[in-house]
């Protein structure tokens, strides 16, 4: 028994010493936090200096994110070949405040109610990306696999293939646009759920920044503006 006590006493002493050390360390930490909090309230100390530099910077980038530009990634092939899965792009959010979307622009938007009804889902914050093909007052149809805008059959070099569906002529109402995916036969877009209210538009996709092999501006058919053979702004 005496031998056992002799063996246990050093261990008990070590445990006691460690416990005391933990208590001292906790008290030191608590005192340090209390001192730093007091300095922070007086506008002094390292924590205050860090917060003074970090918070305005964070607020600045947060404002950019919500008001000017935000990153988005591509989760599907509905816009192929313009975008591939996992492409990352910048979406500017400024032009929507002073002009309506233009034909040929690629926009990111909150889906309209019919989108959710047809998918039997509740709105979950998912955003969708498509190309604007018609604006208010335009007539739009699909026949023989081709898009017909205001009576003109368009040649769209950015699409993946001809559409395997027809769409009777529709007139785009005020306050809305008509959007289609570039991968026409693999896109859940306006030919299913109708017109997109402009108020649902989050922003306009401008630049692909990842992967590096895809780096560059988003194709908007600007090289053929005004030509009936392309999706231009002056089609009639």
Largest separation between any pair of C-alpha atoms in the chain: 106
Please tell me the distance from the alpha carbon of residue 13 to that of residue 117, in angstroms, as a whole number. Answer: 71
Task: Give the C-alpha separation, 68 to 92, whole Å.
Answer: 6
The DSSP 8-state label assigned to residue 212 in this structure reads: G
Please give the C-alpha separations between residue 25 and each of 17, 19, 39, 56, in angstroms, as whole numbers.
12, 10, 21, 34
Which residue's entry shows tokens 């002056």? 234
Query: Which one, of 155, 160, 133, lies nearest residue 79 by Cα?
Result: 160
Query: Does residue 230 contact residue 114 with C-beta atoms inside 8 Å?
Result: no
Give the helix/strand (H/E) hosting 101.
Answer: none
Q: What positions carry a catalytic annotation?
A: 78, 130
Exposed, middle or buried by CB within 10 Å (0-12, 13-18, 19+), for 92? middle
DSSP bridge pairs for 171: 139
């Amino acid at each position: 028994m005496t031998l056992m006590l002799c063996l246990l006493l050093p261990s008990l002493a070590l445990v006691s010493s460690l416990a005391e050390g933990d208590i001292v360390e906790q008290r030191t930490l608590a005192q340090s936090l209390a001192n730093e909090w007091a300095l922070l309230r007086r506008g002094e100390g390292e924590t205050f200096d860090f917060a003074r530099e970090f918070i305005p910077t964070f607020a600045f980038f947060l404002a950019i994110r919500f008001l000017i530009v935000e990153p988005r990634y591509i989760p599907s092939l509905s816009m192929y070949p313009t975008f591939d899965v996992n492409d990352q792009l910048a979406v500017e959010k400024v032009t929507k405040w002073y002009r309506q979307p233009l034909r040929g622009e690629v926009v990111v938007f909150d889906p309209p109610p019919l989108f959710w009804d047809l998918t039997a889902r509740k709105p979950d914050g998912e955003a969708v990306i498509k190309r604007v093909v018609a604006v208010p007052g335009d007539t739009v149809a699909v026949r023989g696999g081709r898009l017909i805008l205001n009576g003109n059959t368009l040649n769209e070099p950015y699409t993946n293939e001809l559409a395997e569906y027809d769409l009777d002529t529709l007139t785009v109402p005020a306050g809305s646009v008509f959007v289609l995916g570039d991968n026409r036969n693999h896109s859940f877009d306006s030919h299913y759920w109708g017109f997109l209210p402009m108020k649902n538009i989050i922003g306009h996709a401008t630049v692909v920044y990842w992967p590096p092999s895809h780096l560059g501006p988003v194709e908007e058919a600007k090289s053929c503006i005004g030509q009936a053979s392309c999706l231009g702004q002056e089609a009639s």
